């Protein structure tokens, strides 16, 4: 409902009607709509974090970063409604997203940031790429753009879409090559 009607257009009463509950029953479990949204987003963010965590055994941090990007893209393409809810649904400023914790095992951004810090620590990146948050946001933003376009416009026949997974692979390769101090090594 949040994806289809947006945050403002979705009410607790409408949610209750859709799932066959009374509004009172929903309020028994959730204080308000923000609490419900935070819980739903938390579930989806944990699923994303688990998908990214599967790359954690890759020893080389740069290769792990590439695999994290692939897992992020695959999550978005495999779960487009959850992706749209997490990253493309407006919420009021200051409302909890449910997406960040202090534990990289439960926090997709935390895991990405931790991976970026490990990549920086290898000394293989260009010297100006020394901030793990900035590097994480560069990676995230680049891949988010592609996934968001696919989720929002992937069925638009007026755009001659190419295979999105192949395009994502090329983006990751170009991005990582551009990060390297000596890209030809």
Verify that 7 and 19 share a domain, yes or no.
Answer: yes
Distances (CA, A) of 164 to 78, 146, 173: 12, 8, 14
What global pTM score does this model have?
0.83
Verify that 175 and 154 share a domain, yes or no.
Answer: yes
**Rounded distance between C-alpha atoms, residue 103 and residue 110, angstroms:** 7
The mean-pLDDT minimum among 57-71, 73-87, 104-118 falls in 104-118
Verify that 22 and 44 share a domain, yes or no.
Answer: no
**DSSP label at residue 125:** B
- For 180, the token pair is 């390297």
Output the domain CATH number for residue 97. Answer: 1.10.357.10
Residue 185 lies in a domain: no
- Owner of token pair 């295979």: 163
Residue 95 has pLDDT above 60, yes or no: no
* 20: containing domain: 1-30
Residue 157 lies in a domain: yes
Distances (CA, A) of 57 to 47, 53, 65, 73, 136: 18, 8, 11, 19, 19
Verify that 41 and 104 share a domain, yes or no.
Answer: yes
Total number of domains constituting the chain: 2
The mean-pLDDT minimum among 55-59, 60-64, 161-165 falls in 55-59
The mean-pLDDT minimum among 25-39, 67-81, 130-144 falls in 25-39
């Amino acid at each position: 409902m949040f994806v289809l009607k947006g945050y403002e257009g979705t009410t607790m009463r409408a949610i209750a009607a859709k799932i066959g509950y009374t509004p009172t029953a929903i309020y028994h479990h959730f204080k308000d709509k923000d609490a419900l949204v935070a819980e739903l987003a938390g579930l989806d963010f944990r699923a994303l974090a688990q998908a990214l965590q599967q790359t954690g055994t890759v020893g080389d941090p740069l290769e792990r970063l590439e695999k994290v990007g692939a897992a992020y893209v695959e999550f978005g393409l495999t779960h487009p409604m959850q992706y749209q809810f997490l990253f493309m649904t407006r919420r009021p400023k200051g409302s909890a997203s449910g997406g960040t914790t202090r534990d990289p095992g439960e926090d997709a951004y935390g895991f990405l940031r931790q991976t970026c810090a490990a990549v920086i620590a290898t000394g293989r990146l260009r010297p100006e790429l020394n901030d793990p948050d900035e590097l994480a946001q560069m990676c995230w933003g680049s891949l988010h753009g592609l996934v968001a376009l696919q989720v929002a416009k992937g069925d638009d026949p007026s755009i001659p879409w190419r295979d999105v997974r192949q395009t994502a692979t090329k983006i990751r390769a170009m991005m990582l090559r551009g990060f390297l101090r000596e890209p030809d090594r």
